[in-house]
Amino acid sequence: MQENKAESKEIVREEMAYEPYTIAMGPQHPATHGVLKLDLELDGETILNCTPTVGFLHRGVEKLAENLSYAQTLPLTDRLDYIASMANNVAYSIAVEKLLGIEVPMRAKYIRTIVMEMARLTGHLLWLATHALDIGAMTVFLYCFRERENLLDMFEEICGARLTTSYTCVGGVRQDVTGHFLESLHAFTEDFPSKIAEYETLIDKNRIWLKRTQGVGVVSAEDAVSLGLTGPTLRGSGVDYDVRKHMPYDAYPYVDFEVPIGSKGDVYDRYRCRMEEMHQSNSIIRQCIEALPKGPICAPDAPDLVMPYGVQKKVAADATFASGVIKLMRDNEHYIDGDVYVSAEVPKGELGFYFVSDGRGVPYRMHIRSPSYIHIGALPFMCKGQMVADVIAIIGSVDVVLGECDR
């Protein structure tokens, strides 16, 4: 009897022999988090091969930067990872500061750390919201946006915009914080752990959630390193690498926090990693508020918005009118030439800025090492052998933003 069954199965297989077929997922698919297109080569529902196509959102930020002064490029960095634009602002600013050799005042460092962690919270909240929505848990989506709204309101208070913040400047921050901001943020941090507990109540042990995430998209530690993954995507695989710990910038050396590390490297571990990171961010924000020192918010030798470098600020201030200012802006030979690479830990991973300067007021070349681009490169590896429905969970778990990927 059993033999018979096996035989008939064989026959059916032979009769139905077919070529693997290809379907295009995206670029308008709502669960690809933007305009990502994946060409999936399928055998039934199993993925044989997956080819990502990127570049639908290419705006040429790197090329634009070659014609704009360092201050003028800053608003463009808002549009990279538009979910957590504050983090991009900070990463860009510390890169330019290293190029120009500017030391940022303590107060600005603390403020930057606060806003960077707030950006991490907004990023992770939106990640959790959309990731859960993709997998089918809609309530989490609504609850996450409730807290994200509070954070965006606070962004609006300090910089005048909710999404395209442009908050930092080279040498510090553009606006000081207010008492109302500090108090509302402190109240938020007191409340937030209970909110995280709410999300966890909904999905942490939910059997559908576990079925969709555990053992899906597994990346071993060696593979994760060789694929160039960073951020929670890498730490979910059990590799201890965090730019905040290993190459500290701003006020991170002065605060006490831990880097959560997973072990299995599947979608569930990456989810746990980000949830723990939210707790850590919350505690960093609290420490920074309590230790916020007084003092100036911008370095005295930092270049102004219009005046390209600090040493000439006085000269530029005397040359009140256009010709003088434009002349200073365009024909300057005072920047240090050379190249510099600085990275920062943004919610998605390690965001790096690479500048090649030939001494002028504009960079000769700017390169952005965007984590999303590299994470999309790892998708074929993760998707191979999985089911079509798992692709959605995997894209969600590596947390890609196409604005940053295509820049």
Among 225, 259, 387, 388, binds other proteins (CB under 8 A): 259
DSSP 383: H
Q: Does 139 bind other proteins (CB under 8 A)?
A: yes
Q: Does 331 bind other proteins (CB under 8 A)?
A: no
Shortest distance, position 15 Cβ to other proteins, whole Å: 41
Exposure on the CB side of residue 286, measured as CA atoms within 13 A: 15
Measured distance CA(60)–CA(102) in Å, rounded: 28
Is residue 111 within 8 Å of residue 177, measured between CB atoms?
yes
List 18, 294, 318, 333, residue binding other proteins (CB under 8 A): 294
Decide: is 258 part of the binding site for other proteins (CB under 8 A): yes
Task: Give Cα separations from 110 to 71, 121, 151, 290 (angstroms).
Answer: 21, 17, 17, 10
Q: Which 216-255 positions form the footprint of other proteins (CB under 8 A)?
A: none
Q: Is 301 in the site for other proteins (CB under 8 A)?
A: no
Nearer residue to other proteins within complex by CB, 39 or 198: 198
Q: Which stretch binds other proteins (CB under 8 A): 116-124, 247-255, 319-327, 389-397?
A: 319-327
Instruction: With beta carbons less than 8 A apart as the criterion, state whether 237 and 391 touch.
Output: no
Please identify, using beta-carbon distances, which residue of 161 and 388 lies nearer to other proteins: 161
Q: Which is nearer to other proteins, 157 or 223 (CB)?
A: 157
Q: Taking contact as CB under 8 A, which single stretch among the options 7-15, 161-169, 352-360, 367-375 is the one that binds other proteins?
A: 161-169
In single-letter form, the type of residue at position 137 comes to A
**Residue carrying structure tokens 């571990």:** 269
Residues 271-290 that bind other proteins (CB under 8 A): 272-273, 276, 289-290
Q: Which is nearer to other proteins, 33 or 107 (CB)?
A: 107
Number of residues that bind other proteins (CB under 8 A): 69
Query: 227-260 in b/e burial notation, b at 16+ Cβ within 10 A?
Result: bbbbbbbbbbbbbebbbbeeeebbbbeebebebb
Compute how many other C-beta atoms are within 10 angstroms of the C-beta atom of residue 315. 11
By CB under 8 A, is residue 141 in contact with other proteins? no
Output 210 or 336, the one with its CB closest to other proteins.
210
Q: Which stretch binds other proteins (CB under 8 A): 303-311, 350-358, 374-382, 399-407?
A: 303-311
C-alpha R_g of the chain: 24
- By CB under 8 A, is residue 48 in contact with other proteins? no
Q: Which of residues 171-210 bind other proteins (CB under 8 A)?
A: 174-180, 182-183, 186, 198, 201-207, 210
Which residues have C-beta within 8 Å of that of residue 260, sequence separation ≥ 6? 235, 272, 273, 276, 277, 280
295: left (phi over 0), alpha (psi -120 to 50) or beta: left
Whole-number minimum distance, CB 74 to other proteins, in Å? Answer: 8
The correct pick among 54, 74, 151, 366 for binding other proteins (CB under 8 A) is: 74
**The binder of other proteins chosen from 70, 249, 268, 335 (CB under 8 A):** 268
SS3 at position 236: coil
Q: CB-hemisphere CA count at 13 Å for 321? A: 0
- Least distance from C-beta 337 to other proteins, angstroms? 24
Structure tokens at 159: 């910089």
Q: Which is nearer to other proteins, 28 or 194 (CB)?
A: 194
Residue type, 264: K
- State whether the Cα torsion 205-210-215-218 is positive or negative: negative
Binding site for other proteins (CB under 8 A): 68, 71-76, 107, 139, 143, 146, 149, 156-157, 159-161, 164, 166, 174-180, 182-183, 186, 198, 201-207, 210, 214, 258-263, 268-269, 272-273, 276, 289-294, 296-298, 304-306, 317, 320-322, 325-326, 329
